[in-house]
C-alpha cells in the first residue's frame, strides 16, 4: 500500500517523498503515543526517579545519579541522539533540540558532572553539541555550540567565561 502512495507522490510532485512516507505501520502508531508521553506526561511527573525511568523507557540514554527537573523537553524525534552521562543535573524547564527546519539530526552529548541551569536551551546545530565534563551552563543560556570541560557558559548565544 505504501509503495503505491510513494509512487503517486513521485508522479505528482516529481521528487522523492519525505522520510515519513517510508515509516512502517507500527512506527506510525507508536510515534504519537511516544510524543504524548514525552511532552505531556513525563515532564509533569513530580517524582524525579519516576521521570528518569520513564525517559529511559522511551529510549533515552541516561546514566546513573542523574537529576532531570520538571517541564524539561527532550527532543522526542531524536531520542537515540541524546546521551546524558553520570552525575548530571538538569534544572527545571530545559529544552533540548537535535534538529530544526532544513537541518540534519545531530547528537547532543552531556558528559559527566554537567550542571544545566533553569530554562537553558541546548540546540545541536549542524555538527552536534558536546557539553564537557563538569561544565556549568547558566540559567537561560542558549547553547548552540560545544562547551569545553570545566567551563562556565553564559548568555544568548553562549559565551565561555572560564
Q: Which amino acids are annotated catalytic?
A: 99
- β-bridge mates for residue 96, sequence order: 122
Instruction: State whether the Cα torsion 139-142-148-154 is positive or negative.
Output: negative
CA angle 89, 135, 152 (to 5 degrees): 120
With contact defined as beta carbons under 8 Å apart, do 129 and 138 qualify? no
Amino acid at each position: 500500500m505504501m509503495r503505491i502512495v510513494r509512487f503517486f507522490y513521485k508522479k505528482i510532485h516529481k521528487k522523492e517523498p519525505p522520510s515519513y512516507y517510508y515509516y512502517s505501520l507500527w512506527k506510525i502508531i507508536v510515534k504519537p503515543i511516544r510524543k504524548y508521553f514525552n511532552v505531556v506526561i513525563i515532564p509533569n511527573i513530580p517524582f524525579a526517579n519516576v521521570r528518569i525511568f520513564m525517559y529511559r523507557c522511551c529510549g533515552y540514554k541516561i546514566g546513573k545519579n542523574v537529576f532531570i527537573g520538571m517541564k524539561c523537553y527532550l527532543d522526542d524525534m531524536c531520542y537515540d541522539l541524546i546521551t546524558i552521562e553520570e552525575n548530571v543535573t538538569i534544572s527545571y524547564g530545559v529544552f533540548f533540540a537535535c534538529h530544526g527546519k532544513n537541518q540534519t539530526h545531530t547528537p547532543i552529548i552531556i558528559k559527566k558532572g554537567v550542571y544545566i541551569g533553569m530554562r537553558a536551551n541546548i540546540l545541536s546545530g549542524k555538527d552536534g553539541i558536546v557539553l564537557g565534563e563538569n561544565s556549568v551552563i547558566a540559567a537561560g543560556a542558549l547553547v548552540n555550540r560545544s562547551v569545553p570541560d570545566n567551563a562556565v557558559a553564559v548568555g544568548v548565544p553562549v559565551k565561555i567565561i572560564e
